[in-house]
Amino acid sequence: MLSVILPAYNEEKMIRKASARIDEILTAERIDYEIVFVNDGSKDGTWEEITKAAAENPHVTGVCFSRNFGKESAMLAGLAEASGDCCAVMDCDLQHPPETLVEMYRLWEQGYEVIEGVKRTRGKESALHRASAGLFYKMLSKAVKIDMSRASDFKLLDRRAVDALLSLPERNVFFRALSSWIGFKTASVEFDVQERTEGESKWSTWSLIQYAVRNIVVFSTAALQFVTMAGIVVFIAAVILGIETLVRYFMGRAVEGFTTVILLILIIGSLVMISLGIIGYYIGKIYEEVKGRPRYLIARKIERRAAHTA
């Protein structure tokens, strides 16, 4: 059986559309399936729509968080609740085309354990958003040592891969990178990002920046290495300036004014503050891990009716 996990945050207009579209495609292909909606603390009527979709379709189940825990937690909750032999994660807004699920499922039948959805095109975006997204993925690729240029959360995982992913103990999770890090026999499927028919994207330029910073810190020590490199650069500049100052001193020409000193103090002070901020961010994430709080809390759940009648 294929479990399709759909995290949902303020997607009341898309729940039943997504359910109906996935049902139509998978039923036509005679693929046994379940749909697991995860309501990530939505402020609209998303949970009510999930309840209605479950009443209409016995293959639909739902999980409702006690508050908003973020997309990463929603994806992991869906994987944990899923009962399928393989699990696909996709966006509730149908920008990930459901038709691609069939191609992914056929590859899984051939023995592949991780099938990654790779973006062929990104759809319609503003120039600013496209540029910021490009910079974001370049930063991530260099930081996590995995090519993330066309990566997405649209993936299908075998049950063994799902269990391996869920066994990882960290609280702060970067699903897109970890699902590649676990290994297993991997294949990829290209898809074109579809246009939203309802609502607006939850990803702004600022949220992309926050997402990049968080996941770089969660998945790598690249930011700490930046602190080291910045320290080396400043040290080299200080040595050069020190030599110049000594040369001028012995030649009888002292450095005029305090401009150089002031600039050095400002530059070094700025680097020290940035470095402390980066180190503090890492310490904050370590503090969150040490507390060991759960990744999410489930307030309500809808059981799959088909499971009771089996």
Which single residue is written with the structure tokens 């700025």? Answer: 270
Does the pLDDT value for residue 266 go beyond 50?
yes
Task: In whole angstroms, give the CA distance from residue 70 to residue 59.
Answer: 25
Residue 308's pLDDT band (cuts 50, 70, 90): very low
pLDDT in tens, 208-221: 666 666 666 666 66
Mean pLDDT calculated for residue range 4-25: 87
Q: Output the average pLDDT for the chain.
A: 76
Degrees to nearest 5, angle at CA 151 with 105 and 122: 100
pLDDT for 198 beyond 60: no
For residue 134, which of 145, 153, 119 has the smallest C-alpha distance? Answer: 119
- Report angle CA 246, 252, 258 to the nearest 5 degrees: 65
Query: What's the rounded Cα separation, in Å, for the pair 172 and 70?
Result: 11
Report whether pLDDT(256) > 70: no
Name the one residue in this structure whose structure tokens are 């910073």: 213
Range from 4-8, 188-192, 265-269 carrying the lowest mean pLDDT: 265-269
Is the pLDDT reported for residue 295 higher than 60? yes
Per-residue model confidence as pLDDT tens digits over 215-254: 666 666 666 666 667 777 777 776 776 677 667 666 766 5
Phi-psi region of 160 (alpha: psi -120 to 50; beta: other; left: phi over 0): alpha
Task: Tell me the pLDDT band of 175, cut-offs 50, 70 and 90.
Answer: confident
Q: In what order do the strands lie in the sheet with 2-8?
A: 186-192, 114-121, 155-158, 86-89, 2-8, 33-39, 60-65, 298-302
Mean pLDDT on 16-45: 87
Tell me the C-alpha distance between 264 and 163, whole Å: 53
Work out the pLDDT band at 15, boundaries 50, 70, 90.
confident
Q: Work out the average pLDDT over 278-296.
A: 74
Residue among 32, 40, 39 at smallest CA distance from 61: 39
Enter the tokens of residue 37: 């909606």
